[in-house]
Amino acid sequence: MPYKTLQSTINVLDAAKIRIKNVFANGCKVYLSFSSGKDSLVLSSITYDLILAGAIDAKQLTVIFIDEEGIYPSMEEAAYRWRQKFLSVGAKFIWFCLPFKQVSVIDHLSASESWITWEPGKEDVWIRQPPPFAVMQSPIMEYPGEMNYQTFCKAAFIDGIQMIGLRTVESLTRLRAVSILDMTRIKPGGAFYPIYDWKDTDVWLYIKERNLEFPEIYMRLYEAGVNRRNLRLCAFFGDNGTQGLRWIAETDPDLWARIEKREPNAYLVLLYWDSEMFRRSTQKRRELEQGEPEKDYRALCEDLLFLHPEKYTIAADTKKHLKSWKQLFIKSYDIATNSHYKRMYEGLLYGDPKMRILRILWNSIYGEFAERAREERASHE
């Protein structure tokens, strides 16, 4: 699907302010999704400043923080700071510690890709204790692990508009979601993305110019070698969180002990974080592998999907979508490259419960094929 980009006549900050003011102008409830990550910090800061300026009504605003239990201490500290800031101007701030189903890539070898945050009955292995004011139960959830937090938010906040710090540069799936959204017709029950067109440089420049305090873990990840464009914070057991776990093991033995108690397979990160198991390949790994013959990933995918699937450990949530993976393999057999097959192979082994990698591969394979065809036609003209 092609996407058309238009050049705006105003900067991204002014555009975000206009979007936020327009949402509040509807007079409906607004739910701001806060995560302690850099994007939600920027969105929170802009919203907070608009409240102070009298441009929007704080009484319409409810800030929601989905506490995923496995978060960095500096993320928890940021949530406390911003809770106090929003409460001080008359907005609501709800801190949820609910038993949501979460993706756990670390638990891959036991054929399970999910765990339950704040699971009742397992209080003795919780990574940390929830704050005393946290919401621990909801009438929307009948039993622990019934839903993930995305499903919960759609049901819980249907009476208002969710305002989320999502940016399209971070993934093709996000770009697609925003490209089909008519942001002139956002109604209660819908989601809104005021900073969708911000780049990484826009986010960090905003933080620098306003001297915003951000979670210290960003600096630790950067020092550990994480590229600036890949600096994202998520739950410890999510696909992006694993890159920082090895740093915790080296610098915070107490926290690491609690993580291992909660997730016994966490040690796998220390052994295989820079491997196909976690879909990573650092420069150091590439240097060590120089001279080794390149793997035939198409053959590996064929073996995994069709010839000898019994040899591989594939998580249950990924197995549900094997038919779709097989269709991708068959239909793209003549046009996919070895790099595509590598991502396919690693996605199957590593896990793709939400089918994000699968969707991205459909687009990248056919998009790159179309580009190669255009270049070939141009060379013959």
What is the C-alpha to C-alpha distance for residues 234 and 75, in angstroms, rounded to an integer?
A: 10
Tell me the CA distances in angstroms from 367 to 168, 175, 362, one per residue in order: 18, 15, 8
In a domain, 31, yes or no: yes
* CATH number of the domain where residue 155 is located: 3.40.50.620
How many separate helices (H) and strands (E) can be counted in the chain? Answer: 16, 7
Residues 32 and 165 in one domain: yes
Residues 205 and 342 in one domain: no
In a domain, 259, yes or no: no
Query: What is the distance, to the nearest Å, from the Cα of residue 165 to the centroid of all Cα atoms in its chain?
Result: 11
In a domain, 310, yes or no: yes
Residues 42 and 169 in one domain: yes
Residue 307: DSSP 8-state: I
Residues 198 and 335 in one domain: no
Residues 46 and 153 in one domain: yes
In a domain, 235, yes or no: no
- 20 closest CA partner among 210, 196, 201, 155: 196
Q: Which domain holds residue 318?
A: 297-374
pLDDT score for 114 = 66
In a domain, 42, yes or no: yes
In the chain, the number of structural domains is 2
pLDDT score for 248 = 78
Q: Which of 188, 209, 230 is the last residue of a domain?
A: 209
Residues 21 and 170 in one domain: yes
Q: What is the pLDDT of residues 250-278, one digit of tens each?
A: 677 888 888 888 887 777 776 665 665 55
Q: Which of 209, 237, 259 is the last residue of a domain?
A: 209
What are residue 124's phi and psi, to 5 degrees? -70, -15
The pair of three-digit structure tokens given for residue 173, joined into one six-digit string: 């799936």
What is the C-alpha to C-alpha distance for residues 368 and 148, in angstroms, rounded to an integer?
A: 34
Residues 196 and 313 in one domain: no
The beta strand positions in the chain, using DSSP E, are: 29-34, 61-66, 92-96, 101-103, 114-116, 160-163, 191-192
What is the C-alpha to C-alpha distance for residues 1 and 191, in angstroms, rounded to an integer?
A: 22
Q: What is the pLDDT of residues 300-338, one digit of tens each?
A: 999 999 999 888 877 777 788 899 999 999 999 989 999
Q: Going residue by residue through the chain (381 aa), what tens digit of pLDDT does each one get?
A: 444 555 667 899 999 999 999 999 988 999 999 999 999 999 999 999 999 999 999 999 999 999 999 888 999 999 999 999 999 999 999 999 999 988 776 665 554 556 899 999 999 999 999 999 999 999 999 999 999 888 999 999 999 999 999 887 755 555 555 555 555 666 777 888 999 989 999 999 999 999 999 988 888 777 767 777 777 776 677 665 566 677 777 677 888 888 888 887 777 776 665 665 555 555 655 555 565 667 899 999 999 999 998 888 777 777 888 999 999 999 999 899 998 998 898 888 777 777 778 888 998 898 888 888 888 888 777
Contact at 8 Å (CB) between 244 and 72?
A: yes
Q: Which of 209, 227, 255 is the last residue of a domain?
A: 209
What is the C-alpha to C-alpha distance for residues 283 and 289, in angstroms, rounded to an integer?
A: 10
In a domain, 357, yes or no: yes
In a domain, 72, yes or no: yes
Residues 191 and 64 in one domain: yes
Residues 51 and 169 in one domain: yes
* 3-class DSSP state of 173: helix
In a domain, 215, yes or no: no
